[in-house]
Amino acid sequence: MQAYDYTLTASRRDVVTLAERLMAGWNGSVDAVVYYTQHWLPYWKENLSLNVSVSNATWLNYGSEHTVCTEAGIANLTELIKPYNTVGFIMFKNLVWDAGYGVIPGLGRPDMCRNEYTKVSGDIAKSAKTKEIARAFREKSIGGDSGGRYMAVHIRPYPDTCMALWRRSVGGVLPPDEANKDCHNPSLMSVFINQTLVAMERFKVSSTVFIMCHPGIRTMVAGLYGAAGITPLFYDDVDGLVNEFGFSCPSLLGMVEQELANQADVFLATKASSMSGIVVEERYAVNTPGQITIFFVGDHKQLPPAVDLALPGQIA
């Protein structure tokens, strides 16, 4: 059972899965790795969990998004990798710098890489099973299509050091010194709560808000949102995922959360997050009439004096 609609993507794009390559006889060894800055090299270790090896690979440092994403840059890159059979690319925050935040056509700096990314991202969608799981949960816990408008929000403290601080917080209280050191915005929870309340009033949604966040901070988020008069709703049917997919993991849980956010009438997203970014791209690709997609806004250092939310149908 697949969480994504692989058949849909494969019908529109030339794609191959790792399993298919291994079944065809590939030994999992990459011949070369192309990278653009050394900063992201350590992240290649994540591929070890997929049994992909770079122990014998040639490492190729090649320009930047400014030099690659042109016709001449693509031609030069093609020549560079010609001698190799299997090539890996480390592209995070390089070729398409905002891919982790949600890439919307017409917004941001245009170039060949970004334009191609927006074409492909629209062909990636959750599977029918994932959508059905989300819809069943929505109908049971939120009221379905007859239950009125509902809003989904994504709570993601940033950067990772801030997430770790939130996870070990006691009673929802963050030590000021640590919050100033570890978080881009030490008042981020106030931003989340205040702007959620403003959005609920502006877009006339119920007091029950679906919240997408890491399981490790749900207790803290639930307490603080509850104290503000907001009824937080989380997806936590791990047994259901095991029954449907044969396993459960945080990533699979997150995919169902994303689909619930995708189906929401109003989605309040966190800017610096690939989880929010995927939902934003899916909502843009489907373009359901009446859906509103907005972002939490605020200075990194202080709570903004006013909430600058988007008008219906716009991206803020």
Mean pLDDT, residues 193-208: 85
For residues 84 and 201, the model is more confident at 84
For residues 143 and 241, the model is more confident at 241
Q: CA–CA separation, 173 vs 176, rounded Å?
A: 9
The three-class DSSP label of residue 260 is helix
In 3-state terms the chain splits into helix, strand, coil percentages (rounded to 5) of 45, 10, 40
For residue 181, how many C-alpha atoms fall within 13 Å in the half-sphere facing its CB? Answer: 7
Query: CA 246: distance to chain centroid?
Result: 24
Q: CA–CA separation, 63 vs 23, rounded Å?
A: 34
Radius of gyration of the chain (CA): 21
Q: What percentage of residues in the chain have a pLDDT greater than 70?
A: 85
What pLDDT sits at residue 68? 77
For residues 51 and 258, the model is more confident at 258
The most confident of 145-149, 247-251, 265-269, by mean pLDDT:
265-269
Q: CA–CA separation, 129 vs 79, rounded Å?
A: 42
Residue 210 predicted with pLDDT over 70: yes
pLDDT, the chain, mean = 81
Could you state, in order of their start, the residue ranges of all structural domains in the chain?
6-121, 128-295
Contact 81, 87 (CB under 8 A): yes
What pLDDT sits at residue 82? 95
Q: List all residues 6 or more positions away from 74 whose beta carbon is below 8 Å from its beta carbon.
A: 68, 112
Tens digit of each residue's pLDDT (9 = 90 or more) over 126-181: 888 899 999 888 888 876 554 567 899 999 988 889 999 999 887 778 888 998 89
Contact 14, 71 (CB under 8 A): no
> How many beta carbons lie within 10 A of that of residue 72, not counting itself?
9
What does DSSP assign to residue 159?
S
CATH number of the 128-295 domain: 3.40.50.11350
**232 φ, ψ to 5°?**
-80, 140
Nearest to 199 by CA among 291, 267, 298: 267
Residue 102 predicted with pLDDT over 80: no
Residue 103 predicted with pLDDT over 80: no
Q: CA–CA separation, 132 vs 275, rounded Å?
A: 20
What pLDDT sits at residue 25? 93
The end-to-end CA distance of the chain, in Å, is 36
Nearest to 263 by CA among 285, 279, 246: 279
pTM over the 0.85 mark: no
Nearest to 53 by CA among 7, 94, 22: 22
The most confident of 101-110, 198-207, 228-237, 304-313, by mean pLDDT:
228-237
pLDDT grade for 104, boundaries at 50, 70 and 90: low
Alpha helices in 85-216 (DSSP H): 112-121, 128-141, 160-167, 176-182, 188-203
Contact 258, 212 (CB under 8 A): yes
What pLDDT sits at residue 49? 74
Tens digit of each residue's pLDDT (9 = 90 or more) over 23-72: 999 999 999 998 887 767 777 777 777 788 888 899 998 876 567 788 88
